[in-house]
């Protein structure tokens, strides 16, 4: 069975962009592939963060993944730092990765602007750690949102460079995009992201979701109720395609184009569907939180499974690069 790897940062509340762009797709893939999903805590320390809340955020993120359906009987969920071979392989990959490739990464450029006073090596090296995450398991497929495709491309290049220098070892992993690979924020412009303050949280209560949607940006070309709208330019419509049923999407699209329905009605329908889907996840989160130690056990057994694979691959890598000794 082909192997899948993907990861998510424990950097604050998980939002619906993470959910429809990645997590929901991860759940669908568990039946066809051997899936490994990771809470990437070492990636999250490349920007300023609150040390005292890190443990809570790691556990919260893992809880959400399991609540979404990534249960231990179907796939492996673990924490990156629990398998230190990820960072060990990163060092080796650093020695085959051209700095120029890292400097041209869009996310590095964006984060360098956002965190002007903390442009650290980790920020530049971020995609190499990501390549090590994927390749330490020799994963063939990586389900991510659109913003991560460039990083997965880089991991292909890292695999190529390593293989060319040391002999065929790693596959070139391929991106798998979901049907909603880029969700804009409630501002309707920037990508939905916790740091932009434009996110709808997966754990937001119904009234918060309703309020965030009520005030969210719609089609910029529709100023009055009587103007026909352009669903292809409206982020609310994109969200409908992710949360509503086919006949509802059809109804909204036709209604918007003909000015048959207004933005308020359209948002109310979306709000209902979103609340319905998220409330199931929220109920499961509550259930999991009532079982003390459950998530920790899931993460421990996940790490132990991953450690077995990672140790074997690191052995092979050390051998190939001439570092393995028989002393
Ligand atoms: P992260 O934590 O930023 O996001 C997790 C996943 O959510 C997707 N995503 C979105 N999809 C659609 N619309 C959005 N607005 C949106 N925002 C986020 C991301 O594309 C991602 O798939 N670098 C990765 C984590 C990582 C990783 C890996 C991924 C570390 N190692 C190895 C794959 C393989 C990241 O920051 O994801």
Q: How confident is the model at residue 222 (pLDDT cuts 50, 70, 90)?
A: confident
- Distance in angstroms (rounded) separating the CA atoms of residues 277 and 267: 15
- pLDDT of res. 327: 84
- pLDDT of res. 73: 98
Lining ligand 1 with CB less than 6 A are: 5-9, 17-18, 21-22, 40, 43, 130, 133-134, 142, 144-145, 147-148, 151, 181-183, 191-193
Atom from ligand 1 closest to the CA of residue 5? 34
- Distance in angstroms (rounded) separating the CA atoms of residues 76 and 30: 10
| Shared domain check, 210 and 76 | no
Q: Which of 161, 191, 300, 307 is catalytic?
A: 191
Query: Which value, in Å, is the radius of gyration of the alpha carbons in the chain?
Result: 21
Q: Which of 74, 113, 161, 194 is catalytic?
A: 194
- pLDDT of res. 148: 98
Domain span including residue 82? 3-180+292-321
| Shared domain check, 228 and 169 | no
Q: How confident is the model at residue 111 (pLDDT cuts 50, 70, 90)?
A: very high
| Shared domain check, 296 and 274 | no
| Shared domain check, 199 and 162 | no
CATH of the domain at 235: 1.10.240.10
- Distance in angstroms (rounded) separating the CA atoms of residues 322 and 161: 16
| Shared domain check, 39 and 174 | yes
- pLDDT of res. 1: 78
CATH of the domain at 107: 3.40.50.620
* Average confidence score pLDDT of the chain: 96
Which distant-in-sequence residues (6+ apart) come within 8 Å of 238 by Cβ?
180, 183, 184
> In total, how many domains does the chain have?
2
Domain presence at residue 127 = yes
User: What does the pLDDT look like over 31-57, one tens digit per residue?
Assistant: 999 999 999 999 999 999 999 999 999
Domain presence at residue 214 = yes
**Residue 120 in this model has a pLDDT that exceeds 80:** yes
Q: How confident is the model at residue 325 (pLDDT cuts 50, 70, 90)?
A: confident
| Shared domain check, 221 and 76 | no
Task: Report residue 155 CA to chain centroid gap.
Answer: 16
- pLDDT of res. 48: 94
Two tokens, residue 59: 């556990």
Q: What is the mean pLDDT of residues 231-237?
A: 94
| Shared domain check, 278 and 305 | no
**Residue 194 in this model has a pLDDT that exceeds 90:** no
User: What does the pLDDT look like over 63-87, one tens digit per residue?
Assistant: 999 999 999 999 999 999 999 999 9
| Shared domain check, 153 and 18 | yes
């Amino acid at each position: 069975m082909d192997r899948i790897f993907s990861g998510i940062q424990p950097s604050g509340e998980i939002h619906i962009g993470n959910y429809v762009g990645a997590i929901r797709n991860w759940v669908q893939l568990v039946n066809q592939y051997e899936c490994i999903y990771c809470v990437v805590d070492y990636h999250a320390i490349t920007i300023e963060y609150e040390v005292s809340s890190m443990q809570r955020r790691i556990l919260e993120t893992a809880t959400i993944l399991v609540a979404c359906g990534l249960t231990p009987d179907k796939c492996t969920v673990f924490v990156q730092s629990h398998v230190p071979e990820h960072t060990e392989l990163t060092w080796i990959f650093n020695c085959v990765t051209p700095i120029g490739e890292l400097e041209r990464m869009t996310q590095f450029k964006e984060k360098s602007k956002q965190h002007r006073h903390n442009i650290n090596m980790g920020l530049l090296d971020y995609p190499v750690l990501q390549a090590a995450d994927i390749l330490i398991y020799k994963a063939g497929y990586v389900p991510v949102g659109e913003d991560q495709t460039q990083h997965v491309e880089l991991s292909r290049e890292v695999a190529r460079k390593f293989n060319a220098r040391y002999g065929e070892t790693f596959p070139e992993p391929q991106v798998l995009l979901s049907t909603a690979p880029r969700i804009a924020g409630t501002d309707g412009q920037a990508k939905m992201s916790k740091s932009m303050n434009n996110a709808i949280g997966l754990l937001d209560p119904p009234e918060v979701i309703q309020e965030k949607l009520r005030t969210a940006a719609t089609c910029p070309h529709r100023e009055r109720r009587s103007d026909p709208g352009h669903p292809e330019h409206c982020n609310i419509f994109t969200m409908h395609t992710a949360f509503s049923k086919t006949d509802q999407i059809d109804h909204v699209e036709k209604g918007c184009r003909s000015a048959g329905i207004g933005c308020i009605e359209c948002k109310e329908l979306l709000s209902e569907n979103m609340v319905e889907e998220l409330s199931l996840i929220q109920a499961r989160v509550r259930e999991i939180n009532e079982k003390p130690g459950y998530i920790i056990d899931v993460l421990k057994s996940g790490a132990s499974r991953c450690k077995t694979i990672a140790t074997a691959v690191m052995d092979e890598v050390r051998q190939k690069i001439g570092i393995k000794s028989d002393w």
